[in-house]
Amino acid sequence: MGHAHDHHGHAHSHPKVEGRNLVISIFLNILITVSQVIGGIVSGSLALLSDALHNFSDVLSLIISYIANVLSKKKASANKTFGYKRAEIIAAFVNSAALIVVAIILVKEAIERFMAPEPVESSLVIWLSLLGIAANGFSVFLLKKDADSNMNMKSAYLHLLTDMMASVAVLIGGLLMKFYQLYWVDPALTFAIAIYLIYMGYDLLKDSTRVLMLFTPNTIQIQQIVDTICKIDGIKNVHHVHVWQLNEDEVHLEAHIDFISDIRISEFDEILDQIEEEVYHKHGINHVNIQPEYGKCDSKKIIVQD
């Protein structure tokens, strides 16, 4: 006999993500990208062109984030029983991977330019970096609230935050080139920006990969869940345990449970309510699927690889 139960009332609720803020950020970044490409070519600044490349990756990433945000609101159907709840996790994975790829390209370009520094039209660099700081700073402000509770929005937020910091670095470089003719600063800043992008993108890439691979969340210990459930009266053994994170709102648990006696379904429902309360309040699990068993001959290992 199988029994699946959705833990009603225990779903974590995050604030509704504001897609309009993403649209505003997309248009601001298109403006910055076009301006910096033109300015980088005219001025000869690699740092400005690298910032433009990063901004262009931001445009693509923000578009991906917006599409994922729209898809995640679609309802489930008969052939999509989970709906598009993982769309934003996929977007976070793609965006963080793109961030690292862009950074590697910038490292290569910076090393080549560092070996042969070239004069740069610093005044144009300064003005365009100020534009980047203002536009990206406003975008960061728009997405800050949603980034605290949504992995997809966090990926977009990190893109914009690193872009704003990159623009600050380009501004400093522009001032040093203008007043001290230190043209090696341009590739040095590009290299620094790239390393920072890798640093920021790695954690998000790792977190989104864990969710996509159905790994048990880092905050949850399987043995502790088993110990919690086994303390409930009438339960003999817990095995075939799987815990995974569907998205940022839902953590799922499925398990087989051996009962000491051949109980009625109504008694099982009462025990199931206890299990749900325990695993939610102690482990943050809000969706539970339990298969009850009595005297069944199968493996009683706690965790199996299916």
90 and 228 within one domain: no
304 inside domain: no
Q: Is the Cβ–Cβ distance between 163 and 135 less than 8 Å? A: no
How many independent structural domains does the chain possess? 2
- Residue range 229-234: mean pLDDT, rounded: 94
Domain housing 276: 216-293
Q: How many CB atoms lie within 10 A of CB 177?
A: 25
| pLDDT in the model for residue 305 | 63
| pTM: predicted TM-score of the whole model, two decimal places | 0.73
Tell me the mean pLDDT in the region 3-16.
46
- Same domain? For 63 and 147 the reply is yes
Q: Give the 3-state secondary structure of residue 235.
A: strand
Helix (H, G, I), strand (E, B) or coil at 218: coil
Tell whether 196 is covered by a domain.
yes
- Of the residues 174, 194, 212, which one is the last residue of a structural domain? 212
> Is 175 in the same domain as 250?
no
Helix locations, the chain, DSSP H? 19-43, 46-71, 87-115, 122-147, 151-180, 185-212, 222-230, 265-283
pLDDT at 95: 81
**Residue 118 counted as domain residue:** yes
Summarised one tens digit per residue, pLDDT across range 130-157 is 988 998 899 888 888 777 777 777 878 8
Q: Are residues 207 and 221 in the same domain?
A: no
Q: Which of 143, 178, 212 is the last residue of a domain?
A: 212
Domain boundary, last residue among 212, 234, 261? 212
Could you tell me the two tokens for 247?
């998205």
Q: Name residue, tokens 């470089």.
A: 173
Question: Is 244 within a domain?
Answer: yes
What pLDDT, in 10s, does the model give residues 104-130?
A: 888 887 888 788 776 777 888 889 889
With H, G, I as helix, E, B as strand and everything else as coil, classify residue 215: coil
Q: Confirm if 238 and 271 have CB atoms less than 8 A apart.
A: no
| Residue-wise pLDDT tens digits, 49-87 | 777 777 777 787 788 878 887 887 888 888 888 888 888
Binned at pLDDT 50, 70 and 90, residue 271 comes out as: very high
The answer to whether the CB of 62 falls within 8 A of the CB of 22 is yes
Residues forming beta bridges with residue 243, ordered by sequence position: 253
Supply the pLDDT for residue 18: 57
Do residues 260 and 231 both lie within one domain?
A: yes
Report the candidate in 227, 217, 238, 239 with the shortest Cα–Cα distance to residue 306: 239
For residue 222, give the amino acid letter. I
Percentage of the chain modeled with pLDDT above 70:
92
Q: Does residue 101 sit in the same domain as residue 121? A: yes
What pLDDT does residue 216 have? Answer: 92
pLDDT of residue 253: 96
What is the C-alpha separation between 287 and 80, in angstroms, rounded?
18
Look at residue 12 in the predicted model and tell me its pLDDT: 47
Cβ–Cβ < 8 Å for 141, 161: no
| Same-domain pairing of 144 and 277 | no
In this prediction, residue 246 carries a pLDDT of 87
Does residue 302 sit within a domain? no
User: For the domain that residue 265 is a member of, what is the CATH number?
Assistant: 3.30.70.1350
- Whether residues 288 and 154 share a domain: the answer is no
> Is residue 230 in a domain?
yes
Shared domain for 128 and 230, answered yes or no, is: no
> How far is it, in rounded angstroms, from Cα 268 to Cα 290?
10
- Is residue 303 in a domain? no
Q: Are residues 249 and 184 part of one domain?
A: no
Query: What count of other Cβ atoms lies within 10 Å of the Cβ of residue 304?
Result: 12
In a domain, 2, yes or no: no
Show Cβ contacts of residue 224 under 8 Å, excluding neighbours closer than 6 positions: 282, 283
CA distance 292 to 11: 23
For residue 126, what is the domain's CATH number? Answer: 1.20.1510.10
On the question of pLDDT at 97 being above 80, the answer is yes
Q: Are residues 167 and 193 in the same domain?
A: yes
- Using the predicted structure, report yes or no on whether residue 9 has a pLDDT greater than 50: no
Q: Are residues 73 and 220 in the same domain?
A: no
The number of beta carbons lying within 10 Å of the beta carbon of residue 108 is: 11
Distance CA 164, CA 169 (A): 9
